[in-house]
Structure 1
Amino acid sequence: MSLVRVHNFSISLDGFGAGEPQTEDTPMGHAGHRLHEWMTATHAWQHTGGSRGVDNLYTQDTDTGIGAEIMGAGKYGYPGWHDDADWTGWWGSNPPFHTPVFVLTHHPRPPLEMDGGTTFHFIDAAPAEALAAAREAAGDADVRIGGGATVIRDFMAAGLIDYLHAVVVPIVLGHGSRLWDGLEGQEADYQIESICSPSGVTHLTFTRRGL
């Protein structure tokens, strides 16, 4: 069976994966771009120039073998986007996913086909149901859980994540959307490795035991 993976999910030292409040102009709230500066500085992100060390290795592995993505409503858009018929996400006409993307929302709407092979499917579904739909769309390829923190937390609590790559960024946000709440003891199910980068971030990988 295909794997369920999380890649490059950045969190602060106090465990927040996004700041607040989220608006159309501030998709990451008061965190701004600080959680992702390590990634945007890599060669894999910039294509010309950029760092080529451990951060780059993790960044370039993000899309390998991915056949579908699941994301939360807050990753797709700002609060209230479902009332805006013209809203098509943060990424312009050619989003970077190039696969079917399942957006978890309490306001389903018809699928939205974009340039480059991305089609957004808007579904109101529990984690297991959403994963079944994504796996069917992905075929033999893996499914990526794209975030935000609440979605990753729900899938992990349900025992559905096989591989989680979290990046601890040395900033303190104080408030926002926290990743680890309610996941006490989950580490027992995973082999955990950590790698410190010269950029100052720490890469944590959780690989389900027995894979």
Structure 2
Amino acid sequence: MSKLRVNAFTLSLDGYGAGPDQNLQNPLGIGGESLHRWFVDTRTFRNMVLGQDGGTTDADESFAARSFENVGAWILGRNMFGPIRGEWPDETWKGWWGDNPPYHVPVFVLTHFKRAPITMEGGTTFHFVTDGIHSALEQARSAAGGKDVRVGGGVSTVRRYLQEKLIDTMHLAISPMLLGTGEHLLAGLDMVKLGYRCTEQVATALATHVIIDRA
């Protein structure tokens, strides 16, 4: 059965998934990029994101590789697509990743402002959804063809799906660093009452990987 998943979502020790003051120069907020040291050296990241060979093959790589398995569609918040706010000023911005984004499947971007789909190289098409998270999930599941749907973030998007108990499984990579401020993933969420429990835990030098499943 198709699942709604969160994978390779990195948090600081104090629970922040992004730093403050996100902008074009700091897409993950100030200090946010350093959270992802566990991921950027893996073979999966180098191959799928950078188009390069090499990379680590340890437990970090195992979780990175799992994050792309059986994914038929993605859902992103608008901040994950780009730094532009409000109405789309033009059609020039097509995401952070260049002409060949690492998704290679349909991607559904949550927004309040209409925009025509964007077809990119490598099988990625960005669709812009203006009628909420449930509509995005319905469209993504239809496009996924029986495969899983992955929620890529950001923090507020993951929180909205968690609040509705729609996330089936979530992989968090907890980085051994403190941010102090930013966007907190779990603040105010009673994960136990929502029906979630930790089912797996693996520690590496750069992250503690935990899997949280919905009962």
Structure 1 segments (4+ residues) deviating >6 Å: none
Q: Deviations over 1:81-124 (max 9, x none)?
A: 83242000000001000111000011121111111110001111
Q: What does 1:5-154 correspond to in 2, within 5 Å?
A: 5-47=5-47, 48-80=53-85, 82-154=88-160
Offset at residue 187 of structure 1 (A): 6.7
Identity of aligned residues (%): 41
Q: Which runs of 5 or more structure 1 residues have no equivalent in the other structure?
A: none
Call closer, same or farther: CA 1:188–1:23 in 2, change over 3 Å: closer
Instruction: Tell me which of 176, 189, 196 is aligned to 2:203.
Output: 196
Q: Does 1:158 align with 2:150?
A: no
Q: What is the TM-score normalised by the length of structure 2?
A: 0.91
CA RMSD of aligned residues (A): 1.6
* Matched position secondary structure for 1:30: coil
Offset at residue 126 of structure 1 (A): 2.4
Q: Aligned AA for 1:40?
A: V
Q: Which runs of 5 or more structure 2 residues have no equivalent in the other structure?
A: 48-52
- Using the TM superposition, name which of 22-31 and 163-172 deviates more: 22-31
Q: Deviations over 1:8-33 (max 9, x none)?
A: 00011111111121111210110242
Q: Aligned AA for 2:165?
A: G
Could you tell me whether the CA contact under 8 Å between 1:22 and 1:79 is conserved in 2?
no
Q: Aligned AA for 2:210?
A: L
Aligned length: 208
Alignment partners' CA distance in 1, 2:104 and 2:191: 35
Offset at residue 188 of structure 1 (A): 6.1
Alignment partners' CA distance in 2, 1:151 and 1:116: 25
Q: What is the TM-score normalised by the length of structure 1?
A: 0.92
